[in-house]
Amino acid sequence: MEDFQKSSLINDNELLNLKEASKWASEYLNKNVTVANISYLIQYGKVKRISFEGTTTVSKRDLIKYYKSVIDNKISNGDNLNWELSFEQYKESETTKHVHRLHPYKGKFIPQLVEYFLNDKTTNLKREVYFHKGNVILDPFAGSGTTLVQAGELGIHAIGIDISEFNSFICNCKLRKYNIKDLTESVGKVSSILNKQYLSSNIQEFTEELDEILSEFNYRYFPSPEYKIKLNSGKIDEDKYSKEKETKINTEYSTLIKKYKIVLNNENDSTFLNKWYVPSIRKEIDVAIKEIRLIEDKYVRDLLSLMLSRTIRSCRATTHSDLATLFKPVYSPYYCTKHGKICRPLFTLIKWWNKYSTDTIERIYQYSLLKTDTKQLCLTGDSRAIDIFKTINLDNTFNKYLKSNKIDGIFTSPPYLGLIDYHEQHAYAYELLELERRDDAEIGKMGKGQGQAARKEYIKSISDVFINSKRFLKKDYNVFIVANDKYNLYPEIAELSGMKIIQQFNRPVLNRTEKDKNKYSESIFHLRSKDE
């Protein structure tokens, strides 16, 4: 009878161990699904863990149900979309490869999109080849440098422009060549000083005791994956339950704060760094940046400054789910909607500094193996008026080449109208690195909204950028613009710019990493001169 029940369970649910589930899901979705991906689904209660003869298994039925729900939530095929451009087959590690992930940047496109249109080896995917090795590409809205980095990998020269000094800083840090030995030694010196600062305080002892308390508390009230399964099935009122447990844990937390005499607020919170970092981290930031500024090699100094910026972004006194959009500082344990348990604020940046410094060196090395002997750089300036040939500062040979041959085309993604505050998202970095902010010069500024007046101003500003850019382009140029054009602004922009849209590719945007995962599509407009 027992054997019959086991057989019935297998036939009905088709139990798969993690390796089998990985193989089956990869075939089902026609993309690589790892064992770690399946483990993630179990951990977060997306599918139920079934223990069968001492082995962790999952039901194929549960997997099908989950993957169907994901597929059904995608944009419908009736939207005239080019699904080849979704790049759904790529894992996140591939869409954030090498230096593309040196620093977070909200709103950037993935490198595979640039490769599709710039890589002349993918002729089987396209009707026409637009650019070739040795060409020069312009990105007048460089952002975090995706176009420039990929141009370097593909053997194409590239010039970027951005109004944000920090954006240009990110780009140029990604594009430079480094002495890995010197870089590693400099990281080691800063790490050593930070570790001494950390060990000389009582933060380690405090956090170890706090983590022990939280571990026992979460095991009791938020067991994984049981709690997440109950949550996903609606058996627990998340808001009511989490608030009760938050109150309970913070009673213990207050006692611990008093025991170790931990200070949670800076005396003056008028600056970003003082408001969003607890005093112990605030001191570490000062120690790190002081040591970094002593580094003689400018390239290494800049890269370590970028590493510190990336580090402190992850250490802000906020919840895990609010890292992209800050609400108010959090100085005590809180219920984390992202992880389904009680989490806590950070009291040291050591862990993230060590993680990101190792990661940065590895990514810089990976890109150094791929980067071709071509020129790429990003200028800080207003693309509506900048004189590229006068501003650029490269060797004389390349300057002469540019002026005599001009730029072959543009691949860019202008700021989306009223969606992102491009300066404020990196407020910590501007203060840390003492960079000038040019918020008022942003095109499509978030604070101006998306109304008729904002749209009219946006159309003129984007047109002015392309009118100015055309001064530096060849007559037979190609322009590619990635845009979420829900207000249908780009036909008018093309007209005002003296260009014509000759193709439009509608791309479904999937696998987003931001908190807002609403499905949407974006367009890639292919423009050429009106006179052609």
Nearest Cα neighbor of 139 from 94, 175, 190 is 175
SS3 495: helix
The residues near 304 (Cβ < 8 Å, ≥ 6 apart) are 186, 187, 190, 292, 295
| Cβ atoms within 10 Å, residue 399 | 15
Q: Give the tokens for residue 96.
A: 């954030």
Give the chain's domain count. 3
Strands 55-59 and 50-52, bridge-based pairing: antiparallel
Q: Please write the tens of the pLDDT for every residue from 233-276.
A: 889 999 999 999 999 999 999 999 999 999 999 988 899 999 99
Q: What value does the mean pLDDT of the chain take?
A: 89
Residue 131 and residue 411: Cα distance in Å, rounded?
11
pLDDT per residue as tens digits for the range 448-507 = 999 999 999 999 999 999 999 999 999 999 999 999 898 999 999 999 999 999 999 988
pLDDT tops 90 at residue 53? no
Question: Does a structural domain hold residue 46?
Answer: yes
SS3 25: helix
15, containing H or E segment: strand 15-17
Asked if residue 357 belongs to a domain, the reply is: no
8 pLDDT band (50/70/90 cuts)? Answer: very low
> Which of the listed residues 319, 350, 381 is the one where a domain comes to its end?
350
Rounded Cα gap, residues 530 and 501, in angstroms: 9
Q: Which domain holds residue 446?
A: 77-176+371-529
More confident residue, 219 or 30: 219
**Helix (H/G/I), strand (E/B), else coil: 56:** strand
Whether pLDDT at 71 is above 70: no
Give the model's confidence band at 372: pLDDT under 50 very low, under 70 low, under 90 confident, else very high: very high
pLDDT on residue 88: 79
**pLDDT (0 to 100) of residue 411:** 98
Of all residues in the chain, the percent with pLDDT exceeding 90 is 67
Report the candidate in 448, 445, 423 with the shortest Cα–Cα distance to residue 436.
Answer: 423
Is 43 inside a domain boundary?
Answer: yes
SS3 content of the chain, % helix, strand, coil (to 5): 50, 15, 35
pLDDT over 80 (residue 123): no
Query: Peptide bond preceding 225: is omega within 30 degrees of 0, i.e. cis?
Result: yes
Please state, as a whole number, how many other Cβ atoms lie within 10 Å of the Cβ of residue 354: 15
Examine residue 360 and state whether it is found in any structural domain, yes or no. no
Same-domain check for residues 185 and 329: yes
Is it the case that residue 31 has pLDDT exceeding 90?
A: no
Whole-number pLDDT of residue 520:
64
Nearest to 484 by CA among 525, 522, 526, 519: 522
Residue 510 confidence (pLDDT): 66
Q: Same domain for 172 and 184?
A: no
The DSSP output letter for 315 is T
Give yes or no: residues 44 and 148 share one domain. no
Decide if 289 is inside a domain. yes
Measure CA 150 to chain center. Answer: 16
Q: Is residue 86's pLDDT more than 70?
A: yes
Residue where one domain finishes, among candidates 49, 72, 95: 72
Give the count of beta carbons closer than 10 Å to the beta carbon of residue 421.
17
Asked if residue 191 and residue 50 are part of one domain, the reply reads no
| Shared domain check, 195 and 109 | no
> Is a pLDDT exceeding 50 seen at residue 4?
no
* HEC readout, 394-451: CCHHHHHHHHHHCEEEEEECCCCCCCCCCCHHHHHHHHHHCCCCCHHHCCCCHHHCCC
Query: Which pLDDT does position 11 carry in this prediction?
Result: 47
pLDDT (0 to 100) of residue 127: 58
* Residue 16 token pair: 């798969």
Confidence (pLDDT) at 79: 55
Q: What is the pLDDT of residue 77?
A: 45
Average pLDDT over residues 366-390: 95
Task: State pLDDT tens for residues 298-351.
Answer: 999 999 999 999 999 999 999 988 876 778 899 999 999 989 999 999 999 999
Note whether 39 and 85 are same-domain residues. Answer: no
Residue 182 · residue 399 · CB < 8 Å: no
What is the structure's pLDDT at 122? 52
**pLDDT computed for residue 74 by the predictor:** 55
Indicate which CATH number applies to the domain containing 122. 3.40.50.150
Query: Is the distance from CB of 201 to CB of 262 less than 8 angstroms?
Result: no
- Tens of pLDDT, residue by residue over 167-195, are 999 999 999 999 999 999 999 999 999 99
Report how far apart, in Å, the C-alpha atoms of 18 and of each of 45, 56, 59, 69, 485 are: 15, 7, 10, 21, 42
Q: Is residue 27 part of a domain?
A: yes
First CA to last CA across the chain, in angstroms? 80
pLDDT reading at 214 higher than 90: yes
pLDDT (mean) for 195-211:
94
- Does 262 fall in a domain? yes
pLDDT, position 399: 79
pLDDT reading at 14 higher than 90 = no
- d(CA 410, CA 407) in angstroms, rounded, equals 8
Structure tokens at 133: 């090795």
- 59-68, 128-137, 456-465, range with greatest mean pLDDT: 456-465
- Do both 447 and 474 map to the same domain? yes
**pLDDT confidence of residue 37:** 84
Q: Which helix (H) or strand (E) holds 123?
A: none
Q: Quick one: 63 and 81 in the same domain?
A: no
Q: In this structure, are 328 and 408 located in the same domain? A: no
Reduced to 3 states (helix: H, G, I; strand: E, B; else coil), residue 106 is coil
Cβ-in-10-Å burial (0-12, 13-18, 19+) of 397 comes to exposed
The reply to whether 358 falls in a domain is: no
In whole angstroms, give the CA distance from residue 431 to residue 276: 12
**Cβ 117 vs Cβ 130: under 8 Å:** yes
**460 in Cβ contact with 431 (< 8 Å):** no
pTM, entire model: 0.85
Same domain as 165, residue 190: no
H/E element holding 100?
Answer: none
pLDDT, residue 121, reads: 62
Last residue of a domain, one of 48, 72, 96: 72
User: Is the domain of 63 the same as that of 9?
Assistant: yes
Given pLDDT bands bounded at 50, 70 and 90, which one contains residue 447? very high
Q: Confidence class of residue 129 from pLDDT cuts 50, 70 and 90?
A: confident
Run of H or E including 249: helix 238-260
Does 340 share its domain with 448?
A: no
